[in-house]
Amino acid sequence: MNQLEQLKQYTTIVADTGDFQSMKAFAPRDATTNPSLILKAVQKDEYKPLLEKAVRDHAGKPTGDVIDRLLVAFGLEILKLVPGRVSTETDARLSFDTQATIDKGRALIALYEAAGIPRERVLIKIASTWEGICAAQVLEKEGIRCNMTLLFALPQAIACADAQVQLISPFVGRIYDWYKKSTGQDYAGADDPGVQSVKRIYQYYRKFGYETEVMGASFRNTSQITELAGCDLLTISPELLQKLSESATPVTRKLSVEDAQAANLQKLALDEKTFRLMLNEDAMGTEKLAEGIRLFCADAVKLEKMVEALR
């Protein structure tokens, strides 16, 4: 078996792309998108018709509504190719507005349901700010499942689990990037700070019986992926899926419930003040969360300009 086939024995594989044609060969169960991936996709000739149709069919709607329909159009195409779930992201500019995030999550689910898709097949992606986590808690109680993204630090993960969200996406590669730049040294294998972060979160969840799924995300190389074999899910770009499928190097399970339950960990109680203080104490987590929101906001603006140029 190649590495991808071996990995599927331990972990659910998710495709991380807006280029849904590219995922066909790898048979992932789920797929994730984000504003940057959708922006990249609609600049390709094969996806421009989706953008043009969204603008044409909803000419009288505000730009934000057109983009919601574009995101859902991509999601609907992806759901034709995967048997599981698609993740669709809320506007990053709402990251510090709980009620607006709740409203956006409800609106996106309504569009999917109007297209005949049950809400169980959709995850609403929300930035892991305190306000975003509070929004997700409300949405989850309504049966709207959430995928908490831009997650870099343990307090974010704990708050998400306490809010009983469906799934979190801790970012491996961006954590690696920060430490590589900060220390001037490279990291590999189990020494990778991004890998260590996800392992710690996975162990915490399984040690204390949380049901929230852990989906490692944002990978830079296949070593980061194989070091997390056994994680609930891993969302992987088509480029890295291809590399995994071309390698026959053995993959062994690195994360397990049994090992997590044996870990020496202390359970933490978080209120808003403790969450903010702990996150503030984590320079990497604070900086990468802020940077990630800025980048997604910038790509949302670019997507708006593309829509407005077609009006």
What's the sign of the alpha-carbon dihedral 248, 255, 122, 150? negative
Of the candidates 170, 229, 178, 225, which has an alpha carbon nearest to the alpha carbon of residue 198? Answer: 170
Q: Which residue spans within the chain are E strands per DSSP?
A: 12-16, 30-32, 86-89, 122-127, 146-151, 167-170, 213-216, 233-236
Looking at residue 303, its amino acid is L
Do 200 and 158 touch, CB atoms closer than 8 A? no
How far is CA 74 from each of CA 41, 69, 113, 173, 297, rounded to the nearest angstrom? 10, 9, 15, 25, 19
Residue numbers annotated as active site: 125
**What span, in angstroms and rounded, lies between the C-alpha atoms of 92 and 289?**
11
